[in-house]
């Protein structure tokens, strides 16, 4: 076999976000200068070492046998406005996550297309920016068959999100909750990645970073659905400065909280921060929306200045972080909690579980490919599917899931 191109080794390490010292430690290379020698072509790595590199650098083994480093993974459009202290490690983790998601989506697309009843989804790319926010909101509402009163009638943020997710999946959109590469140690901050949309007429994906606050999941879901209506594949972050991001934010905001309703919220720049937080919290809770979204809507409606919004947004986030830490402490004290399979089913979503279940039952999908689609190890496939109903309809046909 011809020798490996050493540029591949250096590229794989650098794009994983590891320094030479960090990589040598992760790979258990104790001889000083050996990793540099490998990356300069002075030595060739053994197969066991290549297997370690593939695991630690999060790259398929075959990648190391390419003639040259591949181009950066296609994220679609990058809609984000990143902070100046952006981490290389976080970007490398995001690249790895998007590669995995796109591979899973490609498999799902091929499965759906093999179904003789499958038809292209007409709403994908059906609107443009100049159609305006109201037109997109109206189209989404009609397609998803959502009544905002029914959404708000749910008893918690989680059940309200579950209701909207169910309607999105029934329309043919696969909705996943993913915020890491398989463990909490590889969690990707919301500032780097809040959501991801893959615009496809057969298997559109919406991915939500589940590291975010639960009340924000619904907003992100609708934001990414707006991207699908615009036919735009890409990744979104926490900050919306680009025109398309502001547009999708406005669509999500208008869907969940029509601007006319803001009149009911008696708040101005002169309202004290403490009173403003209290008023926003009460207003948001009643409508099953996030506090951050209400503050953002007030700013977009020119009810408050940018400086006021930025201050409120920062304080609301600090409150959420404090609340999250309290919940974590309570969970650690509690002996009970949902099983791995309950959590995994929730993250994967009913639409994807149903698709895999039906095609495995029909012999059209192997367990190995099913594991790839679901993002789990092979041994977890059957336990994940064991309690699913076998007579569910294909997403997009209007039946129950």
Rounded Cα gap, residues 271 and 159, in angstroms: 32
193 and 279 in one domain?
Answer: no
Report whether pLDDT(286) > 70.
yes
146 and 221 in one domain?
Answer: yes
203 and 104 in one domain?
Answer: yes
Phi, psi dihedral angles at 77 (to 5 degrees): -85, 140
Please give the sequence-ordered ranges of beta strands (E in DSSP) within 40-181, or none if there are none.
77-78, 174-177
User: Last residue of a domain, which of 334, 362, 385?
Assistant: 334
For the stretch 353-377, pLDDT in tens is 999 999 999 999 999 999 999 999 9
237 and 142 in one domain?
Answer: yes
| Domain extent for 38 | 6-65
Upper half-sphere CA count for residue 297 (Cβ side, 13 Å):
27
Rounded Cα gap, residues 134 and 251, in angstroms: 8
User: Last residue of a domain, which of 311, 334, 357?
Assistant: 334
Note whether residue 174 is domain-resident. Answer: yes
59 and 84 in one domain?
Answer: no
Report whether pLDDT(61) > 90.
no
What is the per-residue pLDDT for 46?
92
Phi, psi dihedral angles at 55 (to 5 degrees): -75, -50
Mention every residue, 6+ apart, whose C-beta is less than 8 A from residue 322: none
Most confident of 9-18, 93-102, 131-140, 235-244: 131-140
pLDDT class for 346, splitting at 50, 70, 90? Answer: very high
The answer to whether the pTM exceeds 0.75 is yes
Rounded Cα gap, residues 164 and 398, in angstroms: 15
pLDDT class for 73, splitting at 50, 70, 90? Answer: low
14 and 113 in one domain?
Answer: no
What is the per-residue pLDDT for 400?
24
- How many structural domains is the chain composed of? 3
Note whether residue 20 is domain-resident. Answer: yes
Rounded Cα gap, residues 34 and 18, in angstroms: 16
8-state DSSP, 259: G
Upper half-sphere CA count for residue 23 (Cβ side, 13 Å):
27
Note whether residue 127 is domain-resident. Answer: yes
What is the per-residue pLDDT for 278?
94
For the stretch 261-273, pLDDT in tens is 999 998 888 999 8
241 and 185 in one domain?
Answer: yes
CATH number at 49 reads: 1.10.260.40
Note whether residue 270 is domain-resident. Answer: yes
What is the per-residue pLDDT for 388?
65
User: Last residue of a domain, which of 310, 334, 358?
Assistant: 334
Note whether residue 366 is domain-resident. Answer: no
For the stretch 76-126, pLDDT in tens is 677 766 555 556 667 777 888 888 898 899 999 999 998 878 899 999 999
185 and 144 in one domain?
Answer: yes
165 and 124 in one domain?
Answer: yes
Rounded Cα gap, residues 312 and 55, in angstroms: 42
What is the per-residue pLDDT for 59?
78
Task: Compute CA distances 202 → 124, 171, 343, whole Å.
Answer: 9, 11, 27
Task: Compute CA distances 132 → 144, 199, 292, 361, whole Å.
Answer: 19, 19, 23, 44
Note whether residue 390 is domain-resident. Answer: no
265 and 232 in one domain?
Answer: no
252 and 174 in one domain?
Answer: yes
Please give the sequence-ordered ranges of beta strands (E in DSSP) within 195-233, or none if there are none.
195-198, 205-208
Task: Compute CA distances 22 → 14, 48, 186, whole Å.
Answer: 11, 19, 16
Order across the sheet with 174-177: list the strands: 77-78, 234-236, 195-198, 205-208, 174-177
What is the per-residue pLDDT for 392?
42
Report whether pLDDT(337) > 70.
no
Closest CA to 143 of 121, 162, 119, 171: 171
Rounded Cα gap, residues 177 and 288, in angstroms: 19
210 and 98 in one domain?
Answer: yes
Rounded Cα gap, residues 375 and 283, in angstroms: 38
- The three-class DSSP label of residue 207 is strand
Report whether pLDDT(208) > 90.
yes
Note whether residue 267 is domain-resident. Answer: yes
pLDDT class for 1, splitting at 50, 70, 90? Answer: low
- Say which range, 275-289, 323-337, 345-359, has the weakest mean pLDDT: 323-337
Report whether pLDDT(393) > 60.
no
Note whether residue 215 is domain-resident. Answer: yes
For the stretch 28-38, pLDDT in tens is 999 999 999 99
């Amino acid at each position: 076999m011809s020798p490996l191109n050493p540029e591949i080794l250096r590229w794989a390490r650098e794009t994983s976000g590891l320094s030479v010292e960090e990589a040598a430690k992760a790979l258990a290379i104790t001889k000083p200068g050996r990793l540099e020698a490998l990356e300069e072509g002075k030595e060739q790595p053994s197969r066991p070492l290549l297997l370690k590199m593939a695991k630690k650098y999060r790259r398929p083994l075959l990648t190391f046998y390419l003639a040259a480093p591949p181009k950066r993974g296609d994220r679609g459009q990058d809609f984000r406005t990143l902070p100046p202290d952006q981490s290389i490690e976080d970007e490398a983790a995001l690249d790895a996550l998007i590669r995995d998601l796109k591979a899973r989506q490609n498999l799902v697309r091929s499965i759906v297309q093999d179904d003789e009843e499958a038809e292209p989804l007409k709403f994908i790319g059906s609107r443009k920016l100049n159609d305006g926010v109201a037109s997109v909101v109206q189209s989404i509402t009609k397609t998803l068959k959502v009544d905002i009163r029914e959404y708000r009638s749910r008893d918690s943020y989680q059940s309200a999100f579950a209701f909207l997710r169910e309607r999105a999946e029934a329309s043919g959109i696969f909705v996943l909750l993913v915020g890491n590469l398989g463990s909490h140690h590889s969690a990707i901050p919301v500032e780097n990645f809040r959501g991801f949309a893959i615009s496809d007429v057969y298997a559109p994906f919406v991915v939500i970073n589940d590291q975010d606050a639960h009340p924000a999941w619904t907003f992100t879901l609708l934001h990414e659905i707006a991207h699908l209506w615009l036919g735009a594949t890409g990744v979104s972050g926490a900050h919306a400065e680009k025109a398309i991001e502001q547009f999708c934010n406005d669509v999500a905001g208008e869907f969940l909280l029509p601007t006319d309703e803001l009149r009911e919220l008696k708040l101005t720049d002169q309202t004290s921060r403490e009173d403003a937080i209290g008023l926003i919290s009460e207003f948001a809770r009643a409508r099953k929306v996030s506090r951050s979204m209400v503050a953002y809507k007030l700013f977009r409606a020119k009810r408050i200045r940018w400086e006021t919004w930025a201050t409120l947004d920062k304080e609301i986030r600090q409150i959420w972080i404090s609340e999250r830490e309290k919940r974590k402490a309570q969970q650690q004290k509690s002996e009970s909690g949902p099983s791995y399979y309950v959590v995994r089913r929730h993250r994967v979503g009913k639409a994807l579980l149903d698709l895999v279940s039906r095609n495995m039952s029909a012999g059209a999908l192997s367990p190995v490919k099913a594991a790839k689609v679901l993002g789990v190890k092979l041994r977890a496939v059957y336990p994940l599917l064991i309690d699913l109903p076998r007579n569910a309809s294909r997403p997009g046909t209007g039946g129950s899931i």
